Structure 1
Amino acid sequence: MTTDALLGGHALTLHRFPLEQKNRSLQAWDAADEYLIDYVQEHHNQALRILVLNDSFGALTCALKAIGGNQRHIINVNDSFVSQQACKYNLEENQLEQNTVSYLDSLSEYPHDVDLVIIKVPKNAGFLAYQLALLSRLPSSIKVVAGGKAKEIHTSTLKSFSHFLSEPTTSLAVKKARLIFSETTAKPVISKFPVSWPLEKTDFTLTNHANVFSRDSLDIGARFFMNYLPQGKKPLKVIDLGCGNGVIGLMTLCKMPHAELTFVDESAMAVASAKANVLDNLPDALERCRFMQNDCLSDFTPGSADLVLCNPPFHQAQAITDHIAWQMFVQAKQVLKKGGELRIIGNRHLDYQEKLNRLFGNCKVIGNNKKFTVLSTIRRG
C-alpha cells in the first residue's frame, strides 16, 4: 500500500509491506512516528549517528534521512525481514541516500559510537527488555527517545527502562501517542534471554529468543497441530512456514526420518531459535535442515516442495489482518509440486477452509476442537 506522509516537514511516499496486500486502510506510519520525528527535529537535529530500533516500514529512517541529509548515518535494527525490506524500498522510492543507512538484525550487538537512540516501543515487553539490556552496554549519557501508543506504555514499561537505563520521564500524549525519555548509564545489566523449557511428553528442551511467538510455553495451537503431523519414511521436501521456535518442524523430523526440512520465518529470532532447537535436540538431523529468514516463500523455486506445514498469523505488527495468511497460501501453492500438500492449523472462526477451497479447489478437515481446525489441501493443477 502507498501513502503520502508529512514527517518533519518532508513529504514522503511510504509503502507498507508486503506490497501486494489489499487492505487499503493500513498505512506505513503512525502518530508515534510523527511525534518521534518532530521531537528529534526540535531537540536533537545535530545528531549524526542515530540508532533506530523497530522501524516498522522505514518511516523513521526515511524521515531522519530526509531531515539530516547525507551527513546523517542511520543504523536500522529490526527483527523483521519484511520491515527491513520495506525500509530499503522506501528509501529508494524517496531518492534518499542508501549508503549512509546500515542494517543489523535483532541478535546483533549495537554499535557504541552513536549519539542518539530512537525506539519504536514493541508490543512484546520481553523483546523491549532484551533491547534495553543491549543498550545498557553502551557508553553513558547517550540519549534514548522511545515512542508508542499511549495506551500501551504502562508502568511496567517505565520500570523496564529504569531497570536497564536511567530513570525515564514521559511526554504528554499527542494523537494518542506518547514519548519516553531516558539515557544510557554504562552499567550493563544481564538479559534473561534466551529462555529454555522442557517440551511436554518429549525429552526435548526448547530454547526461545525474546521476540519468538509463545516464547515461555508451548502454544495451544502448536500443541493441537502436533497430533496431526504427517509421518513416514519417504525423503520428502518439507517446509515449516512461519516456523517460530521450530517445534512443528522439530517434531516432523522425528516422524519423518528421511525428510529434508526448511524452516522459514520473517523473524531473525525465530529462525535462530529453530536452528538452536534442532542443534540441541536432534543434532544428527541438522544436515537435513535449512533455516531461512524470508518474506514467506518469496523467491522459492516453484514446484520444489512436497509438503508445507503452517500455523499462519492473523496480525502484522499491531494490525489484525489476514493478508499474511493469504500470501502464505498463495505462495505455498506455487512452491508445491503437483500432488503436494499444504497442511495448516487455524482458529475456527477465521474460515480458512473457504479460502483454501477457493484457491486449491479442495480442502478437507483432518482434525478440530472447539478452538482450532487442522486442514489439508492438495495442489492438483
Structure 2
Amino acid sequence: MDFPFSSLRRWPDVEADNLQAYDATDLLLVDRALASGVSGREVAVIGDEYGAITLALTHAGLNGVRVHQDLATGRRALARNAGELGIEGFSSHELDAMLLDGARLVLLQLPKALAELEEIADAVARWAAPDVVLVAGGRVKHMTITQNEVLARSFTQVQAERAERKSRLVVASGRRPVSPEPPFPVTAQHDGLVLVAHGGAFAGARLDIGTRFLREVLGLDGSQLRRTGAEAAESAPTQPVAARISGVMESERSSPAPLVVDLGCGTGALAASYALAHPEARVIATDRSAAAAASARATMAANGVADRVAVMHDDAASELADASADLVLLNPPFHLGSSVHTGAATRLFEAAARILRPGGELVTVFNSSLGYRGELTRLIGPTEQVGRTSKFTVTRSIRR
C-alpha cells in the first residue's frame, strides 16, 4: 500500500496553499532507504521537516527508525501526523550518540546553513557505525558545491547523483577520523557579551545587525546611538529610547520581578543583554530551534546569568501563560526554510499578543522594507517607531 504523503500536514507550522508537508527530496530519500536493505534500527533520519521520511519508512515496515528534528514545529507535526495515520515504531532524539549509535544509513534533508551541515556530518562520523553511508538530499536550486566540500571534511568519498524531479542526492561514505572535540559549539566576544552557537543557530556566534540595532535602541549595549548625517536624520529622536519605553520602566518600578520574554531568541543575545542590564527582571528565552535553545543555554552560562534566564525549546511561546509577560523582545525571521514568507513573523506577533498583559509592550526589529507596522497595530495595539536606519526599523507596540 502506497504511503499517503498528501495527507500529511505542517501544523502547527504555517500552512498555506503554496506550502506542503513533503517534497521530492523526501520521496528520493525514502526510495533510497527502502532499496538499501538496511533494517529500521540501523536507519537515522535528520532534518525530516514534518515526518514524511520517518513515517513513510515506518509505514513500509522499517521499525526502529530514529529521527532528529531541530524545530519544535516539526516534532509536533510528526507526532500529530503519526497519530492521525496510526503509525508507531520510531523514536525521536537530539543530535547525539543515541540518535546515531550503530546507524549504517543516515538520511539527511540538507540544512540551509553550512555550519549546521558541518556539525551534522561530524556527528555522523563521530557516532555512527564504521560503514555508515550518509545520503543527503535537497532541491537542486538550493544546493552548492560548497556543501560537498563540507561533507568531504568528514567523509573520504562524496558523490553527487543525477537530479530527479528537481531534487538531488549526495552520497557520502568512508568516514574520516574525528578530532577529540566536536567543532561546535563556537564562542565569540561582543563588547562584553559572550555568544555561544551550535551550527544550526541563526547567525552563529556573530551578533546579527538586526539584534545589534535593537540592543542599541534599548540601551543594552552600554552606549547610545552614534550616527551622523543621513543616518542621524532618519533615526529616532535623540532622547534615549530606553527611557521612552515608559511602560517597561513603569513595570520595573511597580513590580519586583517583571517578566521579559526574548521570543525567537536564537543564541540568546537579547535575553542575556537584558538580564545583565536588569538583574531584577525575570527573563525567558524561547526558540523553536533545538540548536538555538542549546546555544542560548550555553550563552546564559557564559555570561553568568543562567540562574536568572530560563531557556525553552518551544513553538511560538506556546507553553507560556496568557497575559503573563510585561515585555517581549522580538527579532522575527522572514523565511520559512528556504522560502521567503512573512507567515513566520505573523505567528510570533500573534504569540506576543497572547502572552502580553494589557499594557505590556512588544519591542521588535525588522527590515525597513517590510510593512509590519499596520499588522502590529492590528494584532497588538498602538505602535510607534522608536528607531530606524536604512535597513532596520524598531517599533514599540502597547498591548490593548
- In 1, the alpha carbon distance for the partners of 2:47 and 2:280 equals 39
Query: Counterpart amino acid of 1:160?
Result: V
- Runs of 5+ consecutive residues of structure 1 not aligned to the other structure: 1-7
Is the partner of 2:150 in helix, strand or coil? helix
Relative to structure 1, the CA distance from residue 223 to residue 118 in structure 2 (aligned partners, 3 Å threshold; closer, same or farther) is same
Measured in 2, the distance between the counterparts of 1:44 and 1:333 equals 51
Q: Would you say 1:18 and 2:38 are equivalent positions?
A: no
Whether 1:40 aligns to 2:36 is no
CA distance in 2, matches of 1:37, 1:14: 15
Gaps of 5+ in 2: 219-241, 244-248
Match of 1:56 among 45, 49, 56: 49
Instruction: Give 1:122's aligned amino acid.
Output: P
Q: Name the TM-score, length of structure 1 as normaliser.
A: 0.90
Q: For the Cα contact (< 8 Å) 2:349–2:380, is it kept in 1?
A: no
Structure 1 residue 277: deviation in Å?
Answer: 1.6
Judge conservation of contact 1:107–1:269 (CA < 8 Å) in 2: no
1:84 is aligned, of 70, 75, 80, to: 75
| RMSD of aligned Cα (Å) | 1.9
Aligned with 1:146 (options 126, 136, 148):
136
Work out which of the residue numbers 294, 297, 303 in structure 1 matches 2:323. 303
* Cα distance change of structure 1 residues 108 and 209 upon mapping to structure 2, 3 Å threshold: farther
Does the 8 Å contact 1:144/1:184 carry over to 2? no
C-alpha separation between the residues in 2 aligned to 1:164 and 1:305? 45
Tell me which residue corresponds to 2:193: 204
Residue 325 (structure 2) pairs with residue 325 (structure 1): no
- Indicate whether 1:287 and 2:307 are aligned: yes
**Cα 1:319/1:17, change in 2 over 3 Å:** farther
- Residues 236/314 of structure 1: CA separation in 2 closer, same or farther (3 Å cut): same
Q: Which moved more, 1:108-117 or 1:161-170?
A: 108-117
CA distance 1:168–1:104, change in 2 (3 Å): same
Q: Does residue 214 of structure 2 align to residue 221 of structure 1?
A: no
Q: 1:336 to 1:162 in 2, by over 3 A?
A: same
TM-score, with structure 2 as normaliser: 0.86
Report deviation, 1:288: 2.2
Quick check: 1:242 aligned with 2:264?
yes
Q: How does 1:138-217 map to 2 (within 5 A)?
A: 138-185=128-175, 187-189=177-179, 191-199=182-190, 202-217=191-206
Contact 2:329 2:364 in 1 (8 A): yes
Report what 2:104 is aligned to: 115
3-state SS of the aligned residue for 1:287? coil
| Cα deviation, residue 160, structure 1 | 2.1
Residue 270 (structure 1) aligned with residue 311 (structure 2): no
Q: Indicate yes or no: 2:154 matched with 1:134.
A: no
Q: Tell me if the contact between 1:139 and 1:185 (Cα under 8 Å) persists in the aligned partners.
A: no
- Using the TM superposition, give the Cα deviation of residue 316 of structure 1 relative to its aligned residue in structure 2, in angstroms: 1.6
Alpha-carbon spacing, 1:108–1:310, altered in 2? closer, same or farther (3 Å): farther
CA shift digits 1:138-171 (9 cap, x unpaired): 3311222111112333222222222202312221
CA contact (8 A) 1:242 1:264 kept: yes
Q: Secondary structure at the match of 2:207?
A: coil
Report the CA distance shift for 1:17/1:272 in structure 2 as closer, same or farther (over 3 A): same
Rate the CA distance shift 1:45–1:257 in 2: closer, same or farther, 3 A.
Answer: closer
The answer to whether the 8 A contact 1:304-1:336 is kept is yes
1:139 touches 1:186 (CA, 8 Å); kept in 2? no
Q: Give 1:300-379 correspondences, 5 Å limit.
A: 300-379=320-399
In 1, are the aligned partners of 2:275 and 2:309 still within 8 Å (CA)?
Answer: no
Residue 293 of structure 1: how far off its partner (Å): 0.3
Residue identity opposite 1:287 in structure 2:
D
Identity %: 30
Determine the C-alpha separation between the residues in 2 that align with 1:171 and 1:40: 15
8 Å contact from structure 1 (residues 106, 269) kept in 2? no
**Offset at 1:344?**
0.5
8 Å CA contact 1:107–1:268 kept in 2: the answer is no
Q: Is the 8 A contact 1:56 1:317 kept in 2?
A: no
Q: Separation in 2 of the partners of 1:79 and 1:106?
A: 8
- After superposition, the Cα gap between the structure-2 partners of 1:102 and 1:370, relative to the gap in structure 1 and judged at 3 Å, is same
Q: Which moved more, 1:158-167 or 1:127-136?
A: 158-167
Task: Assess if the C-alpha contact under 8 Å between 2:156 and 2:175 holds in 1.
Answer: yes
